[in-house]
Amino acid sequence: MTLFTEVQPTLENYWRSIILFGRNVASYKFALGKSLLELAQRGAEIVTLDILAEPFSRNLCEHLQLANRQATSKSSRFLDACRKFNSGDIQKGELLDVTTKLGFNNVIDAFHIVHDGEIGVRFFTDERNGSEKGIRLTQDLFRLTEQFQYRNLPTEVEARWRLVETAWELKLPRHVLTVDYDAESELLVMNDRMLKRKAITGCRDALNGYQKGMCFYCFSHISVESTSDDLPDVDHFFAHTLKPHGLGCSIDGVWNLVLACQNCNRGSKGKFTQLPELKFLERLHRRNNFFIESHHPLRETLIYQTGANEQARRHFLQTTYNMSKELLIQNWKPEHEHEPAF
């Protein structure tokens, strides 16, 4: 069990641990994850490899059109087949044959592995050596589709995939990439130290999984669906109004961004530009540690913005808090809080 799943070890959070904390050397886990969420809606327990091949290859072909690099290895016969399909050099039937033969060699075995060990639940079992020649979807996967947070999961997979593939596509050393927030577009953007900028994904989509689909302050459920009444605000923990006062840090850095329900952020007794109580600083540190565990590119961004080790990051947050306290004086807390999610 990871630190992420120690508190609230729910099906949704076990799923998120796979998507957010895997040591990705290829994007196959993301493609399989999106495929599983789609197939679970159909209700069939047995999924043969030739059936799985269709959504799996479709997801990868779509992403190859966004970023040509989908793995850290220099070559892949399977990805080459996907590229040939995109360019019209092979037909869909041939792509599906190649996918069935080559696409699942490692990802089925590796899907449930996080931090060198298996997570506490399985969303499918491997039946490739049996008569079914595929996978068997488990009741845990079907139960996952019944949860409130299920609606957020496909978007969270997509956002994490975009972060990883964009970092690979830029072909730059990890230490020169940072992820920041563009308030006008509400997008996360990737910058290098040469001031080149590339839009990646929606800020809410990228942050939601790390907060387990909960408001940072009161732990009420939130949704990243654009039409939802539960759509959260992107809040600066240390208010944007502090920027002119020389805080000496990137206010728009991902370390300072949290998702807050509308009531907490701008309700009748909302936070607005106030400084949260001190206990929320520790919560911010824990959330930021999830970014550190998440590896490329968020790990490198947090280290660059807040410190190379945990002691340095704690010092950075506490120093920033002390400076903010001198300017803002009063503290804020939500009217009500649910059971902590992290």
Domain check: are 141 and 234 in the same one? no
Domain check: are 218 and 321 in the same one? yes
Tell me, letter by letter, the H, E, C secondary structure of the chain. Answer: CCHHHHCCCCHHHHHHHHHHHCCCCECHHHHHHHHHHHHHCCCCCEEEHHHHHHHHHHHHHHHHCCCCCCECCCCCHHHHHHHHHHCCCCCHHHHHHHHHHHHCCCHHHHCCEECCEECCCCCEEEECCCCCCEEEECHHHHHHCCCHHHHHHHHHHHHHHHHHHHHHHHCCCHHHEEEEEECCCCEEEEEECCCCEEEEEEHHHHHHHHHCCECCCCCCECCCCCCCCCCCEEEECCCHHHHHHCCCCCCCEHHHEEEECHHHHHCCCCCCCCEECCHHHHHHHHHHHHHHHCCCCHHHHHHHHHCCCHHHHHHHHHHHHHHHHHHHCCEECCCCCCCCCC
Domain boundary among 146, 161, 192: 146
CA dist list (Å): 269 to 231, 276, 329, 333, 336: 18, 13, 17, 9, 11
Asked, for residue 267, whether it belongs to a domain, the answer is yes
Asked, for residue 337, whether it belongs to a domain, the answer is no
Domain check: are 91 and 195 in the same one? no
pLDDT at position 329 is 81
Domain that holds residue 59: 3-146
Domain check: are 155 and 268 in the same one? yes
Domain check: are 298 and 248 in the same one? yes
Domain boundary among 116, 146, 176: 146
Domain check: are 171 and 301 in the same one? yes
Domain check: are 189 and 214 in the same one? yes
pLDDT at position 175 is 63
Name the token pair of 63: 């992403």
User: Cα–Cα distance between 200 and 163 in angstroms, integer?
Assistant: 6
Q: Kindly tell me the burial class for residue 24, based on how many C-beta atoms sit within 10 Å of its own C-beta (0-12, 13-18, 19 or more).
A: buried
Q: What is the dihedral of CA 84, 86, 92, 98, to 10 degrees?
A: 40
What domain count does the chain have? 2
Domain check: are 129 and 201 in the same one? no
Domain check: are 314 and 277 in the same one? yes
Q: Kindly tell me the burial class for residue 175, based on how many C-beta atoms sit within 10 Å of its own C-beta (0-12, 13-18, 19 or more).
A: exposed
Residues of the chain with pLDDT under 70: 1, 172-176, 192-196, 248
User: Cα–Cα distance between 342 and 324 in angstroms, integer?
Assistant: 24
Asked, for residue 338, whether it belongs to a domain, the answer is no
Domain check: are 244 and 299 in the same one? yes
Does this model's pTM top 0.85?
Answer: yes
Asked, for residue 7, whether it belongs to a domain, the answer is yes
Query: Taking the CA atoms of the chain, what radius of gyration do you get in angstroms?
Result: 21
Name the token pair of 29: 């886990």
Asked, for residue 32, whether it belongs to a domain, the answer is yes
Asked, for residue 339, whether it belongs to a domain, the answer is no
Query: Could you count the other beta carbons within 10 Å of the beta carbon of residue 326?
Result: 8
Domain check: are 178 and 317 in the same one? yes
Domain boundary among 120, 146, 172: 146
Contacts of 205 (CB under 8 A, 6+ apart): 155, 156, 158, 159, 224
Asked, for residue 317, whether it belongs to a domain, the answer is yes
User: Cα–Cα distance between 200 and 206 in angstroms, integer?
Assistant: 10
Asked, for residue 303, whether it belongs to a domain, the answer is yes
Domain check: are 225 and 178 in the same one? yes
